[in-house]
Amino acid sequence: VESSPSSSSSSSSASSSSDDHRHDVRSSSPSLLRPGVRHRVELSLALPESDVNRMAGIFSVRVDLLSPDGTVLASSDRSTMLPHESSFVGNARRTALLVPMLLGAIPEARTVTVGVADNYVEWGDMPLAAVAVRLISPSGSTSAVQVLAAEVTIGKEPNAVQRIMREWFYACGLAGTAFFMMWYGTVGFVAFVLWRRRRRRQRSRHDSR
């Protein structure tokens, strides 16, 4: 990924052009996706926690899905920024991760995920061959947004249940934990009641003798 004050671009296509400073890695396979199947495309950016990125604020992300001949199949323009956190939370997080950061196991960067396309369907005559990404800095900015790494994720579009679990992950986790606790508690209570009844019956039989 290269950056410039106006834009930075990276792509998954095989040729490179020195005029627009774009690096392309084009796929050699005839098709990257299964035709007729709905897919979800997401872009993940690893942004260093630098003063440049903090001063950049909100910047635009333009993503183009390209065919083998360079035809734009779909485009997306989204805005994002380096996640904000207070100085207290930031210092606490860095203190907790101090040793891994010093060893280089964890970079001083934050990952932001940008949704590119929902329900994208590929057809056989126009397969997806490349993904071009441009980061456009806000007007008046004198420096480009700094990026450590970028990753494009393409997966099958989730169904309604999977979407709810994705969007409400912690709520679903809490609800699932509460459900299983109630279930095991109910089963345990019923088992205890049955055990008590059995003990009473055994005692009554013993006393009758």
If one counts the domains in the chain, the total is 2
Q: Which two tokens stand for residue 142?
A: 């004198």
Is 202 among the domain residues? yes
Put simply, whether the predicted model's pTM sits higher than 0.75 gets the answer no
Give the confidence band of 10 by pLDDT, cuts at 50, 70, 90. very low
Q: Cβ of 133: how many Cβ atoms within 10 Å?
A: 24
Range of the domain at 185: 167-208
Shared domain check, 126 and 33:
yes
pLDDT per position as a tens digit, 88-139: 777 787 788 888 777 877 777 888 888 888 888 887 778 888 888 888 887 7
Whether residue 162 is contained in a domain is answered as no
Same domain, 26 and 74: yes
Identify whether residues 180 and 133 lie together within a single domain.
Answer: no
- The answer to whether residue 62 is domain-embedded is yes
Q: What is the mean pLDDT of residues 169-173?
A: 85
Tell me, yes or no, whether 152 lies in a domain: yes
Secondary structure class of 61 (helix, strand, coil): strand
Whole-angstrom Cα distance, residue 94 to residue 96? 5
Q: Does residue 147 share a domain with residue 174?
A: no
pLDDT above 80 for 20: no
CA distance 52 to 62: 20
Do 27 and 120 reside in the same domain of the chain?
yes
Pick the residue with more confidence: 133 or 25? Answer: 133
Do residues 101 and 140 make contact, with C-beta atoms less than 8 angstroms apart? no
Task: Please answer whether residues 127 and 30 qualify as being in contact, where contact means their C-beta atoms are separated by less than 8 angstroms.
Answer: yes
29 and 122 both lie in a single domain:
yes
Residues 89 and 178 reside in one and the same domain: no
Is 29 domain-assigned? yes
Give dist(CA 121, CA 111) in Å, integer: 27
Q: Can you tell me which residue has the tokens 């420096």?
A: 143
Residues 140-144, mean pLDDT to the nearest whole number: 74
* Same domain (yes/no): 203, 107: no
Q: Does residue 177 share a domain with residue 106?
A: no
Tell whether 75 is covered by a domain.
Answer: yes
Q: Are residues 31 and 100 in the same domain?
A: yes
Determine, yes or no, domain membership for 1. no
**CA pair distance 66, 142, nearest whole angstrom:** 30
Residues 89, 107 within the same domain: yes
Q: Is 27 domain-assigned? A: yes
- Domain shared by 147 and 175, yes or no: no
DSSP for residue 81: -
